[in-house]
Amino acid sequence: MSASSRKMTLARWTALAVLAIAVILLVAPAPEGWEPKVLRGAALILFAMGFFATGVIPEFVTGLAFFAVASLIAVAPADVIFAGWSSTALWLTFGGLIVGIAVTRTGLGGRLAARLTGLFGETYKAQVAAMILVGVALSFVMPSTMGRVILLVPIALALADRLGFTEGRNGRLGLVMAVACGTWMPAVAILPANVPNMVLAGTAETLYDLHFTYGAYLLLHFPIIGVFKAIAIYFAVLMLFPDRADGSTAQTADALPMTRDEKVLSYVLVVTLALWALDFWHGISPAWVALSAGVVCLLPGIDLVSKDDFMTRFNTASVIYIAAVLSVAAIIVDSGVGRELAARILPLLPLDPATPATNFATLIGLGSVTGILATAPSVPAVLPPFAQDLATATGFPLVTVLMTFVLGYSTMFLPYQVPPLVVAIQLGGVSLRQAGRFTLLLAALTIVFLLPLSYLWWRFLGYLP
């Protein structure tokens, strides 16, 4: 039996085990003091995450099954079950998918890729670094991780084409993962650059009247989980996806005058990027900006994306998958699964004011495990209500406890934990298994190297005793 066959067999057996446990949870009576919907929610969440992780059936099929089963067992009200469909993240993705088709069809993606190779060179290593640097730089001006992903993945694919990386080549996968992780992970160190950060800031203000400042947050996190995490992403890409560019495939279209469609799309992208960057001023969600940009691309007379292009190239399966992932997070919160898990795990934690290093590692582990069970965006919603108790048990200041949650949800193990990463790998044609190998390697590098550095840095700044 080949290695790939053994992996598939293991995945199938794992999926069957997950399904069996989910069925048991579904039919088992609720323990005393538990609401019945907690077990129903746990069963559904286990099924969805287990099948997403193993990939034994297509992700969109798992997503549709999730919606069907959730409705049949009435695990939550319909507006919660289908919360993903009303999420701004989904509609930002929807509009971005249309813009991505336009970037490819007009040739603008290839032109931008040519400019990048001109700036950084046509070597694979240089372009991996370029993708990460551009992702981090955009994090300071574009508040939406999903927006950054949608803007950069088509450029990464055009760059892969230019360098001769065909479908399935390591170089193509590496460039996509550089964008996917480079736009999310270092951005965790920049307060307004992603949704979980802002949820944590809002929760801290609501529960504890504690206000995070941009500068203090940046100083605490950016040197380690910003700069050093970006470096770790670079080396992880080169370790897991080694390749060499085929320079002979480089095109010269960038030397030709821009076409009418390229110019129009450039104007659309400039306006879109400006509106994303200025959302603090005008208050319009990045999702509605992206959707509007997609509509403009489809308008008769503009025709950046034709009807046939939309019908044949729009990735409906990705939309279904993303809606399901977002709805899973909503059910975790509504069903009480997250609260029950946290309430039962907290008393078991080895917390003691005399052991600050152990406390630091434990709190990060708590955030990471919660992210695995409930996805990263759920961490700042589930854990902060327990922060004061954790501060008392550890002897840490309250702000330190809250900041450890950032390290927890930034240390991701599997792709499904972060919706923008899911979008990136769907757009880029990277399988969940390939992306999972990468995120596990990056998690290992983070645990071994970056978290100890964070501990020392936090002590230097006075956040830890």
pLDDT tens, position by position, 222-245: 999 999 999 999 999 999 999 998
Structure pTM? 0.76
Outline where 142-247 has alpha helix (H): 145-162, 170-184, 195-208, 214-221, 229-240
Say which residue the tokens 């507006």 belong to: 79
Tell me what pLDDT residue 247 has.
Answer: 61
Say which residue the tokens 């002979």 belong to: 248
Mean per-residue pLDDT of the chain: 86
Q: 375's torsion region: left (phi>0), alpha (psi -120 to 50) or beta?
A: left
129-175 pLDDT per residue, tens = 999 998 898 888 666 687 788 888 988 998 898 888 988 899 999 99
Cα-based angle 160, 442, 436 (whole degrees, multiple of 5): 70
Residue 68 has pLDDT above 70, yes or no: yes
Residue 186 CA, distance from chain mean position: 12
Contact between residue 379 and residue 195 where contact means Cβ atoms under 8 Å apart: no
Q: How many CB atoms lie within 10 A of CB 350?
A: 10
Residue 272 has pLDDT above 90, yes or no: no
Residue 295 has pLDDT above 90, yes or no: yes
Give the DSSP letter string of 119-157: HH-SSHHHHHHHHHHHHHHHHTT---HHHHHHHHHHHHH
Tell me what pLDDT residue 358 has.
Answer: 96
Closest C-alpha among 302, 139, 289 to residue 225: 139
Tell me what pLDDT residue 248 has.
Answer: 46
What average pLDDT score do residues 80-87 get? 88
Say which residue the tokens 């501060």 belong to: 391
Q: Domain limits of the chain?
A: 1-75, 86-194+209-315
Per-residue confidence band for 180, with pLDDT thresholds at 50, 70 and 90: very high
Contact between residue 367 and residue 390 where contact means Cβ atoms under 8 Å apart: no
Q: Which range among 104-108, 293-297, 390-394 shows the weakest confidence by mean pLDDT? A: 104-108
Q: How far apart are CA 178 and CA 126, in angstroms?
A: 12
Q: How far apart are CA 109 and CA 441, in angstroms?
A: 30
Contact between residue 102 and residue 157 where contact means Cβ atoms under 8 Å apart: no
Q: 55's torsion region: left (phi>0), alpha (psi -120 to 50) or beta?
A: left
- Those residues whose C-beta lies under 8 Å from the C-beta of residue 187, and which sit 6 or more positions away, are 135, 136, 139, 145, 148, 193, 194
Q: How far apart are CA 464 and CA 456, in angstroms?
A: 9
Per-residue confidence band for 3, with pLDDT thresholds at 50, 70 and 90: low
Per-residue confidence band for 7, with pLDDT thresholds at 50, 70 and 90: low
Tell me what pLDDT residue 418 has.
Answer: 87
